[in-house]
Amino acid sequence: MSNISAANSTNALGKPLHGGVALVTGGSRGIGKAIAKRLAALGAAVGICGRDEEKLMLASRELEAGGAKVLANRADVTKEADIRAFVDATEKRLGAITILVNNAGTGGGGFGAIQEKSEAEWDQVMNTNLKSVFFVSRAVIPGMIQRRGGDIINISSLAGKNTFAGGGIYCASKWGLQGLCGCMAEDLRAHGIRVSVICPGSVATDFTGRGPKDPGKVLTADDVAHAVAMVAAQGAQSFISEVQMRPVAKP
């Protein structure tokens, strides 16, 4: 009973994720770092990965300075061996993963007319934006099934709901992600696992996109992090299947 009382006391202080462990891909910068900070502020221990060692360590120090328990591992989400090592290290150091945020993504060479694109550009975008979600989710789901619960939150885009000139490869990756998320939700809800997808419009980050953005007419990384926190902290008897996000000021 003392453990329950302690947990309730912590929750009352605004730590609804106390005792949980969140794994965030692409957590070294931008949206991923903002998500990791928000989940840590709500009480979760956080495992983050990225490919840039320097940015990853900087993000780790920022999280630790805020009082978070953190594991930072260099990992390429397009490589299954890297993912399995990252998941194993997170669970060994922090405990069982209760929240997975598939955030890593790229525009890369994905923008432009399809006839001008190469196979390498197709593979780069598809492997990062779609295949990585398959790899990471497949590594985490068995443990969640065994424990009869967990949250999987996938960061997609409004490009997964709309089309635009020059967006063939990028939109294809995000439309594919939408379909994957919907099917995962149906496959896993019987196991007590909630799968949600968040679809932001343009966000003010260093993401390689379609050109300069007016800071007053785009979302911020913290906006997306707020939505993730809302989904992760929702009541136990429900799940928010999809969130679409737009800036108040129309671009």
Q: What is the pLDDT of residue 2?
A: 32
- Structural domain includes residue 47: yes
Does residue 4 lie in a domain region?
no
Residue 231: its H or E element: helix 221-232
In a domain, 61, yes or no: yes
Which of 79, 241, 61, 92 has its CA nearest to residue 152?
A: 241
- Residue 175's domain comprises 13-245
pTM: 0.91
C-alpha closest to that of 208 among 107, 94, 91 = 107
CATH number (domain holding residue 180): 3.40.50.720
In a domain, 35, yes or no: yes
Burial letters for 31-47: b for 16+ Cβ neighbours within 10 Å, e otherwise?
A: bbbbbbbbbbbbbbbbb
- Asked, for residue 250, whether it belongs to a domain, the answer is no
What pLDDT is attached to residue 212? 57
Catalogue the active-site residues: 170
Digitized pLDDT (tens) for each residue of the chain, 251 residues in all: 334 334 444 454 578 999 999 999 999 999 999 999 999 999 999 999 999 999 999 999 999 999 999 999 999 999 999 999 999 999 999 999 999 999 999 987 779 999 999 999 999 999 999 999 999 999 999 999 999 999 999 999 999 999 999 999 999 999 999 999 999 999 999 999 999 999 999 898 765 455 556 777 899 999 999 999 999 999 888 999 999 999 998 87
Helix or strand (DSSP H, E) at 243 = strand 242-245
SS3 category, 159: helix
Domain count, the chain: 1
Task: Judge whether 75 lies within some domain.
Answer: yes
Which among 203, 202, 186 has a CA at the least distance from the CA of 194?
Answer: 186
In a domain, 126, yes or no: yes
What is the reported pLDDT for 66? 92
- pLDDT at residue number 13: 59
> Tokens in use for 78?
């397009």
**Structural domain includes residue 8:** no
